[in-house]
Structure 1
Amino acid sequence: MKGVVCGFTVLCMLSPASYAVELNKEFDLDMKFSLLSQYRTRGISENQNNPAVQFDGMLSSKSTGLYVGVFTASIDYGHGSPSRQELDYYAGWSIPLAKNVTLDLGQVQYTYVKESNKNTSETYASLAAYGFIFTAQYSDDFPALGKEQSTLYTWASYETEIPCGFKLMGRYGVMDYKDPFFISTDGSTRDGYHEWEVKLSRKFVGLDWAVSYVDTDLSKNECLFAVGYKDVCTAAAVFSVSKKI
C-alpha cells in the first residue's frame, strides 16, 4: 500500500515545541507515544481500519535549527503482506524567517520491516505561520510503482484554540501522481485524489486526547484498485490518545 501513499506524520514534530526535553544548552529531545483507533495517512488507512501504536522522536539543535528523527507505527496491508511495522527516518533544517514564521526543509526515508521493496524516500518543504501550515512533499523514488512514476503531495492546515481548552484543526490535501493511477467503475482513470481532516483535541490528565473526521474523494472501486480494499479510503472517525515526553 505504501506505494500509493506515504505518511506525513513526521512533519507534526518539526517546529520547536514547549514539551521538548532540554538535554543541554544546545540540544532538545521531543518524544511522543500514541494509541489510535486506526492509522490514516493522506486519508487512507494503513492498517485496514484497525488500532495502531506509534512513536515519534526528534533530536534538534537550538543554534543551527538542524534536526533528525525517527517515526514508527504498526501497520497491516493485508493480502499476505508480512510487514507489520513502518519505520521512518527524517532529517531537516528549521529556519525562522520572522516571529511566528518558520520554514522547514528536509528528507524522509520510509522503510518497511520484511518488505524492503516498498521503501521510498521523499523531499519536503513546509512553511508554518500564525497557525497555518503549507507543505509540499515530492518523491520520484517509488520502486513498487515503477521507475517512471513520481508523486507530489500538497496540503494546508490551520489550528486554533477554542473555548474550554480545546484545539480545532482543519486540513486539506491533494495527492498527485505523474501518470494516471486510479480506475473508476466506468473505466475512466485519474492521476490523483483529494483528502481532508477535521480534528478536535484537548489535554486532560497529562495526556493529549483527539478525535478526527477523515475522508477522501476516492470511490470504492478506485480504492479497491489502488490498495486492495474498498473501505479504507472512505469517511472515518479516528480517536487517539498521546503522551508527550
Structure 2
Amino acid sequence: MFKPSLFLLGSLLWYSVAQAQVFQRELGDFDLKLATTPSRSMAQGLVKPSTTGSFHGGLDLSHDSGFYVGQWSPSMGLSPSSNLEVDSYMGFKQPFDHSLGYEVGMIHYSYPKADTLDSQELFGGLTLLGSRFGAAFSNDPDKQNSTLFADLSGNQPFGIGISLKYTTHQLNTPVSVDDGYVGSFTDWSVKLSRPFMGIDLDLIYSDSSLSGSDCSAYSGHNSQCDGLVTLKAAHSFY
C-alpha cells in the first residue's frame, strides 16, 4: 500500500475539529473529500468495529474512472486508553447500472505509536437497489478473519436500517482453555438503526460461538465474547 501521511492526516483532524464541516472539492477529474466520517461505507462496514475516538477523520481522493485512495483514522490516540490508528486504503468502485454496482479494494491498518503489528484486508461487494452485500479477508498478526456483511439500507421498514456481520476467526496458535484448546471461533452482530429528533439511535446485538471459560480465547470484532445488547445514541453538531 502506501505509508501513512501523518502530517496530512493531522492537518485534516485539526481542520475537522476547528471548522466542524466536510470539505469537498473537485480537482479536474478527481474529487477530494476531507471529513470526520468515513467516505468508503463498504470498507468501513466490512472490516473493523465502528468505534471512534474524540478526534478522528480522514481524506478520500477518487477519480471519475472509479479508482480511489484514502486514509481514515478512527482515533488520534490522545487519551490514555486509545492508540493512534491510521487506515490506508485503495480500491475501485463502479456501477453496472442505476440499481447495481460493485466495489473491490484493500486496506492497510497501522499503529505508529503502539507495539502492534500492521495488518491488511481485502474486500469486495455489490450494491443492489441501495443495499450493500460484501465479503472481506484479513491477515492479522495472530489470526485470519473471513467476514460476510449485509447492509439493508435499500429497504427500511418504519425507517429502521438493518445491518448484519458474520466473521470466522482462525487462530495461528491455538489457545489453551479449561477443557482443551480453541483454534477457531465465529462471532456475529445485528444492528438496528434509526434517526430520532436529530439523534442517531443504534440497537446492537452481538454474540460468538464461545462461552464460559472458552471466552478467554476470544479476540474478535465484538466488545464482549458472550451475548450483549447495546444501545447507542449519537448526535452530530454539524
Summarize deviations over 1:131-186 as a string: whole Å, max 9, x none: 4322221234x3x32xxx533222233223344xx332131312232757566643
* Number of aligned positions between the proteins: 203
One of 150, 155, 172 as aligned partner of 1:156: 150
* Distance in 1 of aligned mates of 2:232 and 2:125: 26
Offset at 1:124? 1.0
Q: Which residue matches 2:108?
A: 109
* Distance in 2 of aligned mates of 1:216 and 1:42: 17
* Distance in 1 of aligned mates of 2:108 and 2:123: 11
Summarize deviations over 1:87-139 as a string: whole Å, max 9, x none: 11111100212222121111100011322542101111111112432222123
Distance 1:231 1:93, change over 3 A: closer
Instruction: Could you tell me which runs of 5 or more consecutive residues in structure 1 were left unpaired when the two chains were aligned.
Output: 1-18, 35-40
Alignment of 1:33-72 (within 5 A): 33=37, 52-53=53-54, 54-61=56-63, 63-72=64-73
Alignment of 1:85-164 (within 5 A): 85-115=84-114, 117-140=116-139, 142=140, 144-145=141-142, 150-159=144-153, 160-163=155-158
Offset at 1:67? 1.4
Q: Which residue matches 1:224?
A: 216
- Aligned residues of 1:220 and 1:231 also touching (Cα < 8 A): no
Summarize deviations over 1:30-60 as a string: whole Å, max 9, x none: 62349xxxxxx9899798xxx8434344222
In the alignment, does 2:35 pair up with 1:31? yes
Instruction: Could you tell me which runs of 5 or more consecutive residues in structure 2 were left unpaired when the two chains were aligned.
Output: 1-21, 39-44
Distance 1:92 1:137, change over 3 A: same
TM-score by length of 1: 0.64
Identity of aligned residues (%): 15
* Distance in 2 of aligned mates of 1:240 and 1:181: 37
Question: Which runs of structure 1 show a deviation greater than 6 angstroms over 4 or more consecutive aligned residues?
Answer: 41-47
TM-score by length of 2: 0.66
- Aligned residues of 1:196 and 1:214 also touching (Cα < 8 A): yes
